[in-house]
Amino acid sequence: MSEPQRKTTSVGLEKKQLILKSAENEFDQYSYGGARMQRIADRAGLPKANVHYYFRSKSELYNAVLEDVVGLWNQTFKTLDANHDPRMVLSEFVRMKVEFTRLHPRATRIFTSEMLHGAPHLSEKLNDQMNRWTQNRASVIAQWVESKKIAPIDPYHLIFMIWASTQHFACSEFQIRSVYQKSKLTRKDFADQSASLTTMVLRICGLEP
């Protein structure tokens, strides 16, 4: 017999978002292994029972955090076909990925750490979703290459390069701040990064910025 459906109210949604944000901070600071549901509840200012009402286990909560990350990332290239202008699409892809990193550095680090450790906690459903997204976008890039809209380039390598470069400010924040001799990265730092990366990506594809 399946579990009864829980009603979703505006208050319930607010609590879930509060728990997810608290979990994001906890997983970023302690990683999956060191994170504790009690501390997540304390961060959210809620009883631990409330956290377990919405997320039955640490694994379920962790995957919910990852799903949030992937869902936001997938808003870029959301609708894409070979008729779209590659210059505009690639420029927007870079801009949105950099902006996501600026707004969600903790989530970016959590996802990157999960991948670096072999994705031991990533659900099969989320992994399949990411793979489909990547394959569909790579297919469009391959069509751009075939129709000579961009220079010959491996579509997957292009996507991987954009992922890695746009996430670098979050994953290596201390190193970047040290090089820049700053206590905190500014909005202008991210804007400059976005402009530079856009120029590089377009020129790699044989396009003028």
**Pair 40, 83 in one domain:** no
**Pair 27, 95 in one domain:** no
pLDDT at site 76? 66
61 domain residue, yes or no: no
pLDDT at site 8? 58
**Pair 47, 87 in one domain:** no
**Pair 15, 51 in one domain:** yes
**Pair 49, 86 in one domain:** no
**Pair 37, 119 in one domain:** no
Cα–chain center distance at 115:
12
35 domain residue, yes or no: yes
pLDDT at site 36? 96
**Pair 42, 82 in one domain:** no
3 domain residue, yes or no: no
pLDDT at site 4? 44
Indicate the DSSP class of residue 177: H
**Pair 21, 84 in one domain:** no
| Counted domains in the chain | 2
pLDDT at site 124? 87
How far apart, in Å, are the Cα atoms of 103 and each of 62, 73, 179, 201?
Answer: 19, 12, 21, 22
2 domain residue, yes or no: no
**Pair 100, 45 in one domain:** no
1 domain residue, yes or no: no
pLDDT at site 77? 65
CA distance linking residue 159 with residue 142, whole number of Å: 12
**Pair 18, 90 in one domain:** no
Cα–Cα nearest to 173, from 101, 65, 118: 101
CA distance linking residue 35 with residue 188, whole number of Å: 33
pLDDT at site 7? 56
Look up the domain containing 131 and give its range. 68-204
CATH assignment of the domain containing 176: 1.10.357.10
pLDDT mean values, one per 10 residues, the chain (209 residues): 53 89 95 95 95 94 89 72 91 92 92 90 86 92 96 97 94 94 95 97 95
pLDDT at site 51? 95
48 domain residue, yes or no: yes
CATH assignment of the domain containing 26: 1.10.10.60
Helix (H) or strand (E) holding 129: helix 124-146
**Pair 81, 106 in one domain:** yes
